[in-house]
Amino acid sequence: MTIKGRDVFELHTTYGFPPDLTRQMAQEQGLEVEMGEYNELMRIHEEKSRGKASTVQVALNVTGGLPTTDDRPKWLGPTCDSKVLGWIADNQFHTQGTLPAQSEIGLILDRTCFYAEQGGQVGDKGTVRTPTGLFEVSQTTTVGNATVHLGQVTEGRIEVGQQAQLAVSSEREFTRKNHTATHLLHWALHRVLGEHVEQRGSKVKPDEFTFDFSHTGPMTDAEKAEVERLVNERIYQDLPVQWRELAIAEAKKLPGVRAFFGDKYGDTVRIVEIGDGFSREFCGGTHLDHTGQAGLFKIVGEGAVGKGLRRLTCVTAREAIAAVQKEDAILAELTARFHCQAEELPARIESMQEEIKRLQQQLKKGAATDLQSAADKLLANATAAGGAKVIVGEMPAGPEEQMRQQVDRLRQKAASAVIVIAWPVDSEVQLMTAVTEDLVKRGLHAGKLIGQVAQVLGGKGGGKPTMAQAGGKDPSKLGEALQLARELANQMLAK
C-alpha cells in the first residue's frame, strides 16, 4: 500500500506534520510514500508563496513507471558522467528521439550526482551537457525510484542515448555547509536544553536553514549564545564528517544514533558521523568532508511554530559573515549617535530611558495643569438650568485618563451638573459626558445624551447613566454638536 504524495502535502501544509515523520512512520508500518508528487506540490506551493509563478510546470503523474536512477554519485561530488534515458512531458515518459527545445520537461538519466529534494534538503540546480547540447536543471525531484531533473534544453539539441556530463551548481556547497550545521545544532541543543529535544523537521537551503524541535518555551539569549559557542567550537576543530551504510538493525544499535528524520533505503540506512561519533544520525543528505568548511555558524531567528514546537533560523559561512557585518554596522551607527564605546551602550541607553520617563512625568504634570485650567474656565462659564449647572465645551488634547480625572473634579466642584466635554485625537474627536447622582435620580442619562451628540459628528457611543464616552469622525461639526449638547441638557433639566 502507498500513501499518496497529496496526502503527505496536506498533512504538512495544513496541519504542520513534517513529511519526514510521515515517511518514517509509514515505513515502520510497511507502507510506501509517494514523495515525487509531494515534492512537486511543495515546490509549486513555495513558489506561489513567494508571489511569483512556478518556473517549471511539468506533469509528473507518469503511467507505466520509470527506470530506477543510480543517485549514489550525489554523495561523492558535484560532477559525474551519465546517459540520457528519456524525458517526461504531459504525463508521458518518452524513450526515443530528441528532447523538445525551450520547453519545460523532466529529464531522466541512468545515474546522477544531483540531489533530489527530500529529508528537508532542497533539490539541486545545475547543468547536463551532451556533445550536442545543454540542459539547464532548475529543480530536482523524485518520482518513485527515479530522479527527475526539471528544466529545459537551452543550447543545441539533446537526444536519448547520448552520454552526458553532469555539473551541480556551486550553490550546493553552501547547502552542504548548512546541512552539516543542522547535525551540529541538533547535538548542541541536546547539550544546552536537554535530552527531551527532538528534531521535528528542517529546511536546508544554500542561504539559510530552519530547524524545528520540541521544547517547552522560548530559548533565552544565554541559551542561544551557548548553542552558537558549541557549534562554532566543533567547526573550528575541523572534525571529519564521514558516512557509511549499514543494515538498519545494526545501525539502530550504534551508541547515540538519532533516527528521527533519516532517509531510508529499504533495509539499509546511511549514517552520517562527525568526529568521534558525538553526532551520529540517519541521513541521506549531502555533507561536508570536515566541519571547518562551514566557516561560521550563527542563529538569526527563533520562534514558535506550534504548541511545544520551536523553530531556529540559522546561517553559516558567507551568510553568517553577512549577518555579523549587519549587526556590526548597526552597532557602529549606535555608538556614533551616542558618542560612546560599544560596551558603554547599555548604560547610556538605560540613562536615556530614565530621562525619558522623567520628561514624560513632567509633561503629564504640565498637561494636567493645562487641562485643569481649561476645566476651571468651563466651570466659570457654565450656565444654570433646573437647579444644576450645564458645563459644556472643548478641552485641549490630552490623555483619556486625565480627561476622566477632570470630569470627576468638575462633578465634585459643581455638586449638581451635566458635563459634556470634547477634545481632539488625531483627525477625530472624543466626547465624554457625566451626570451627577442627584440628576440621574431625576431621569437624566449620560449614555443617552452622548449617543445623540455623537451622531452629529458621524460617530456613536454610550455608557452608564453617570458616565459615558463616544467618538466622532467629523471635527468640523464640533460646534454644532456642543450646541446640541447644551440644548439637550437644558431640556432634560427643565422637565
Closest residue by Cα to residue 138 from 156, 150, 128: 150
Number of Cα atoms under 13 Å in the Cβ half of residue 153? 18
Residue intervals in the chain for CATH 3.10.310.40: 370-494
CATH for 34-169 is 2.40.30.130
- Within the chain, all domains assigned CATH 3.30.980.10 are found at 173-335
Contact predicate 282/262, CB 8 Å: yes
Q: Measure the CA–CA gap between 16 and 210, rounded to whole angstroms.
A: 14
How much is the pTM?
A: 0.68
Task: Note every long-range contact of 453-457, with CB atoms under 8 Å and residues 24 or more positions apart, other chains counting.
Answer: 453/420, 453/481, 453/482, 453/484, 453/485, 453/488, 454/481, 456/480, 456/481, 456/484, 457/429, 457/431, 457/481
Q: Give the span between the Cα atoms of 420 and 291, in whole angstroms.
A: 73
Residue 280 and residue 120: Cα distance in Å, rounded? 17
Helix 317-338 to helix 345-380 angle, to the nearest 10 degrees?
60
Residue range(s) in the chain whose domain bears CATH number 2.40.30.130: 34-169
CATH code: domain 370-494 is 3.10.310.40
Strands 297-306 and 209-214: unpaired
Q: Residue 21: what pLDDT?
A: 64
Protein fold of 173-335: Threonyl-tRNA Synthetase; Chain A, domain 2 (3.30.980)
Cell of 67: 527506470
User: Mean pLDDT in each 10-residue stretch from start to end of the chain (495 residues)?
Assistant: 75 61 67 74 62 51 84 95 94 91 92 93 96 96 92 94 96 96 97 92 94 92 96 97 91 81 63 94 94 96 88 96 93 90 90 85 72 89 90 89 90 92 89 93 91 90 89 90 92 85
